[in-house]
Amino acid sequence: MSEVRLEGAQRLRGRVRVPGDKSGSHRALMLGALASGSSTVTGLSGGEDVAATARIVSQLGAEVLLENERVIVRGPLKGLRASDDALDCGNSGTSMRLFAGIVAGIEGRHQLVGDASLSRRPMDRVARPLRLMGAEVEGHGDALTPPLRISGAAPLHAIDYDVPVVSAQVKSAILFAGLAADGPTTVREATRTRSTTEDMLLEAGVLLRVTNVREGREVTIEPGRPEARTWRVPGDPSQAAFFAVLGVVHRDAQINIAPIDRTPERVGFVDVLRRMGANLAWGDDGSLRAETSPLLATEIWAAEIPSVDEVPALTVAAAAAHGVTAFRNMGELRVKESDRFAGSLALARALGCATWSEGDDFYVRGLEDSAAFADLHVEVELDHRMVMAAAVAALAGHGGTILGATSVSSSYPTFFEHLASLQ
């Protein structure tokens, strides 16, 4: 297993440009492939997850060309078609769940496979609505873990569906399938998750009605085809979260993060950190500046950071805070690239914090200062965000050894270079 050793940094200064938003990157390629004609994408994430999506759209009949900093996607005039070969999503849950929705509406048999981590993740959450729409979906065991076999149907039946989990991927799978349905499809979520799919479908000219209902959202989509267009993918806020936490918990830091996506469901981590006392400021251009700050413990609800991608980073903030931080309703962490519920607790413990859990809640007693962090030794299995959280803690504290660090390439291949550039 790959091993990286990091020493604690004396001083951190500088500016980082995080990769293009992973969510936006997947969808730009997918919408480009579903459209007829040529779409251009700038700012695409260079991570392996998005590369898997690019390979899959090619297998389904789109053309993907790399031109300097731009990617051109040409969707076939007659629409996408089934591939004879398995569609390999690698480590990427977003690829598997969103493609499940797309291929459900393409006649023929499709097989979606993934790496060891993805092969443990539940796909029943997308299979259920897609079966209601008329696709056949098979996987392994009750949770329908991959490989996923899907027989697509065109058209699919339009449905009206309440998503029982908090998941942007499930919502998006249904919306993509809705493009190939025989009437308007409605999907409802009780907690608003990232709006990337809705926003981009609207920009691509698809007929969509979006209504906020209490803390949730209702989206109705008309069948149709997205238009080819130019996509400019903004910086990824979930990657910015690592640098924000690093800047705040390190004893001598000033870090500027080049502009990122600021849609409300993506930047909850900024509010959480500010509530803890973090000196974090937005620039007019959407950049974020993080400076050394003493932190106080807080109570963090999953709904504040839907999809809970920022919890590994916030665990490091909790470890550097004064008092006990409560992480509430965090059950979804268990079915991410790794069990991040256990992984976040293990990371805080490895730093020297007392931790405990009760049901879907967990608690971290902070050490008041990252100078009190222990030299870390962690092993991460196929989970980019756990690697980045551990690296931030190591740099802010007394160094650390991370086994399995190459997993960072799923979303951020240049992460360690960017960390080094701040020293």
Residues designated as active site: 309
How many residues of this chain bind ligand S3P (CB under 6 A)?
10
Pick the closer one to ligand S3P by CB: 74 or 384.
384
Provide the edge-to-edge strand list for the sheet that holds 136-140: 87-88, 108-113, 145-152, 136-140
Per-residue binder mask for ligand S3P (CB under 6 A), 188-227, x = binder: -----x----------------------------------
* Placement of tokens 């969707």 in the chain: 75
Pick the closer one to ligand S3P by CB: 74 or 340.
340
Is the sign of the CA dihedral 307, 309, 315, 317 positive or negative? negative
Region near ligand S3P per CB under 6 A, out of 82-90, 163-171, 199-207, 359-367: 163-171
Pick the closer one to ligand S3P by CB: 83 or 91.
91
Residue choice 236, 261, 309, 310 for contact with ligand S3P (CB under 6 A): 309
Pick the closer one to ligand S3P by CB: 23 or 83.
23
Q: How far is the CB of 279 from ligand S3P (least distance, A)?
A: 27
DSSP class of residue 345?
Answer: H
Residue choice 25, 39, 167, 298 for contact with ligand S3P (CB under 6 A): 167
Total residues belonging to the chain: 423
Region near ligand S3P per CB under 6 A, out of 36-44, 67-75, 107-115, 161-169: 161-169
Pick the closer one to ligand S3P by CB: 49 or 88.
49
Contact 30, 56 (CB under 8 A): no
Residue 154 identity (one-letter amino acid):
A
Q: 209 - beta bridge partners?
A: 220
Return d(Cα 128, Cα 377) in angstroms, integer. 40
Residue choice 307, 325, 344, 409 for contact with ligand S3P (CB under 6 A): 307
Residues numbered 76 to 95 that lie near ligand S3P (CB under 6 A) are: 94
Residue partners of 284: CB distance under 8 A and separation at least 6: none
Tokens of 275: 């509530």
Residue partners of 53: CB distance under 8 A and separation at least 6: 25, 26, 29, 30, 89, 92, 94, 95, 99
Q: How far is the CB of 25 from ligand S3P (least distance, A)?
A: 9
Residue 292 interacts with ligand S3P (CB under 6 A): yes or no: no
Tokens of 287: 């950049």
Helix, strand, coil shares, percent, the chain, to 5: 35, 25, 35
Residues that bind ligand S3P (CB under 6 A): 23, 94, 167-169, 172, 193, 307, 309, 332
